[in-house]
Structure 1
Amino acid sequence: MKKNITIYDIAKEANVSPATVSRVLTGNERVKPITKEKVLAIIEKYNFRPNSLARSLLFKQSKMIGIILPDINHPFFSTLVLKIEAHALSLGYTTFLCNSMNDEQIESTYLHNLVDKQVDGIIFLGGRINQVETNHALAEEMNQIMDRVPVVFVNGEMEGVDTHIVQTDEIDGITKVVDLLNNLNHQKIAFLGGESGISSHELKYNAFQHAMKNNQLPLNPDWILAEGFEIASGEALASQLLTLKNRPTAIVCVNDFVAIGVIKTLEKFDLKVPEDISVVGFDDIYLAKDFPPGITSVSQNYDQLGRTAVDVLIKRINNELAEKKITVPTRLMVRNSCQQLRE
């Protein structure tokens, strides 16, 4: 059986101390060139690669990053995680993916497990960082975790937690949507989906109100309905809207899942999109482009968002300076679900 070569075997054959081999592996300049050359020749001879535990001892890093997210089934999170994982891997880091299933206790368990596994840092998505009113016990727990490893929040924050944040410009995204519909002659615009107390909903709704006011468009409270973020939520909300005698000509949805549900219900009642009602989503998930008739949506710019989150975290891991809050621009992806309102 082939023997597993260790740092001690390398040291013995090179007639140097294990500490000298460690300095060669870490690129320490205090090793004499002739000694370094001898050690490297033996390392190459045995194709020696220190295992992950050895690397963590040598370099004081595990080269592992933890990712905590609330729902891997949601395309926003799964798409973003793919971008994060790919960029981290390109920089030599592997990732631990932790799906909390929207459960705060599971979030806490994962936070402590990741620290116990000696990850170098954690990227945190959704869950507790999307609560408008911060749970102070959870914030204190987060601060305790940050005393041990750096943490980066994506599209969220917590009162009393001073960490690095990477976010998309959701306000500008909604503003672009309302401006587009206004330019298409729509004045009767609804806002559907979301949940009170969740920052991703509150942020978009406040931006919607502001954009409507800026465009001098009327806000009808009957057309502002919040009942979740899922396809079923869109179906239920569209059904409510259709009971009204006075209906909007365009609908802005909190995300693409809601938009899909809205379109399904409208078509069930023989209303065509966009001929009868225009519909716009948010997130630009992979379904948006291909779900008939092609959903106009706001792209969260996943590639840049994921790369930026990883870059900021690695800077913190290496004790380098990084911007405290970075805002990534969104893009409006115009497709066939909205059109000019006929006079």
Structure 2
Amino acid sequence: MVTIKQIAKAVGVSSTTVSRVLNYDPSLTMSEAKRQAIIETAEALNYETPRNRSRAGTAAEASQPAKLVIVHFLDPSEEIADPYYVGVRLGIENRCRELNAEVTKAFHPDGLPDAQQLAASAGVIVIGKHSARDIAWLRRHARHVVFADFDPHNDEVDSVFSDMGVATLKILNFLKASGYGRIGFIGSSDYLDGETRQFGEWRCATYIDWQKAEGRFDPDLVLLADSGLGQSHRLEDGYRLALQMLSLPAPPDAIVTSNDNMAIGAYRAIQERGLRIPDDIGIASFNDIPVAQFLTPPLTTVRIHAEHIGETAVDLLFERLAGRTFGRQVRIATELMLRASCRTPGAAD
């Protein structure tokens, strides 16, 4: 059977573009000549589109939109407290509306979702970190599975994510270039398979490796909240741990927090201690949630494109529905948003 990849190679476009054209995506912007080339190539190769395949079924089946399920590792109250994960879900839901797909949500912070719900859907998009056992269970009970904001390290599994190790290095190298010498890290322990793994979270592990390579690692400058899944990276933890770090005999001159919620908590602790940002201490973080640019001063943070991660997850799932049989892993680039919570290179001279 002819695949979307073969059509994409023949026309010189991406597989995603071919999938969107053949699925009549009205939001796709491209030249009519290129769109026609894709359609004519597909016809010449006798590609059987999902629409044509559906015609072999009943008329009722042909008229039904794809039914998808979002599986989330947080419960609704925990998700709404973190604008980043709200952004991932909104990206999925908006893209599903564009593609005329119905989507339902299955939150499962303490267990696994309903297997019958997954089996009855055309495909499943899974948000967040899951264990190897959970991944195997999800793949067993769903026709197609795509992981959003998580890399299962399995090239048979579709996933879309940002590399948090690379993102952490962006912050640390910037802080070093800006003249900061004693950099602290505030985050959370890694929680997976019911066990807490201290220093296992990717941002924290990268920070420790970088500090050791620089020859200035100080274990006192790593403070982690020891909390379970869905209870990590919270504002109150950032506040509490920042107060603790600022009480050290030799406090840091910059703090990196593992997300913007923790950074907001750290802002409060810094201000309560009578310190000025960035004159006395710099602070940088991850996610670039909407409020980050409105803090006083605005927060330097790594922008992780949450909605694009969600949108791309839907595109990957539709590629599977269109016939792709091999796994794809997509890495979404991050951006360091430089704002006034840190000095810039040369400012300390």
TM-score, normalised via structure 1 length: 0.74
Residue 109 of structure 1 is matched in structure 2 by 113
SS in 2 for 1:273: coil
Distance of 1:82 and 1:179 partners within structure 2: 32
Q: What is the percentage of aligned positions where both structures have the same residue? A: 24
Distance of 1:174 and 1:252 partners within structure 2: 9
SS in 2 for 1:239: helix
Distance of 2:84 and 2:326 partners within structure 1: 25
State the 1:196 CA deviation.
Answer: 3.1
Superimposed CA distance per residue, residues 78-109 of structure 1 (whole angstroms, 9 cap, x where no aligned partner):
01111121112111212212333x22x2xx23
> Counterpart amino acid of 2:340?
N
Residue 66 of structure 1 is matched in structure 2 by 69
SS in 2 for 1:72: helix
Distance of 1:27 and 1:161 partners within structure 2: 30
1:210 equivalenced with 2:213 (yes/no): no
1:142 equivalenced with 2:138 (yes/no): yes
- Greater relative contact order (Cα < 8 A, sep 6+): 2
Q: Which moved more, 1:254-263 or 1:291-300?
A: 291-300
The verdict on how the C-alpha distance between 1:333 and 1:159 changes in structure 2, with shifts beyond 3 A counting, is: closer
Residue 337 of structure 1 is matched in structure 2 by 341
Residue 98 of structure 1 is matched in structure 2 by 106
> Counterpart amino acid of 2:263?
A
1:224 equivalenced with 2:237 (yes/no): no
1:311 equivalenced with 2:307 (yes/no): no
The structure number with the bigger radius of gyration is 1
1:42-53 mapped onto 2 (5 Å cutoff): none
The verdict on how the C-alpha distance between 1:159 and 1:213 changes in structure 2, with shifts beyond 3 A counting, is: closer
SS in 1 for 2:79: coil
Question: Is 2:187–2:204's contact at 8 Å kept on the other side of the alignment?
Answer: no
Distance of 1:211 and 1:87 partners within structure 2: 38
Question: Is 2:187–2:257's contact at 8 Å kept on the other side of the alignment?
Answer: yes
Distance of 2:87 and 2:311 partners within structure 1: 12
1:1-343 mapped onto 2 (5 Å cutoff): 57-58=61-62, 62-69=65-72, 70=74, 71-73=78-80, 74-100=82-108, 102-103=109-110, 105=111, 108-110=112-114, 112-115=115-118, 118-127=120-129, 129=130, 131=131, 134=132, 136=133, 138-146=134-142, 149-158=143-152, 162-197=156-191, 202-213=201-212, 216=214, 218-227=216-225, 228-321=232-325, 323-340=327-344, 342=348
Question: Is 2:156–2:327's contact at 8 Å kept on the other side of the alignment?
Answer: no
> Counterpart amino acid of 2:306?
Y
Distance of 1:95 and 1:140 partners within structure 2: 22
Question: Is 2:171–2:284's contact at 8 Å kept on the other side of the alignment?
Answer: yes
How many matched pairs? Answer: 281
State the 1:126 CA deviation.
Answer: 1.8
Q: Which runs of 5+ in 2 are unaligned?
A: 1-50, 226-231
> Counterpart amino acid of 1:288?
A
Distance of 2:139 and 2:122 partners within structure 1: 16
SS in 2 for 1:193: strand
Distance of 1:56 and 1:171 partners within structure 2: 48
Question: Is 2:65–2:102's contact at 8 Å kept on the other side of the alignment?
Answer: no
State the 1:210 CA deviation.
Answer: 3.3
Aligned Cα RMSD in Å? Answer: 2.9
TM-score, normalised via structure 2 length: 0.72
Residue 20 of structure 2 is matched in structure 1 by none
> Counterpart amino acid of 1:328?
I
Q: Which runs of 5+ in 1 are unaligned?
A: 1-25, 32-53
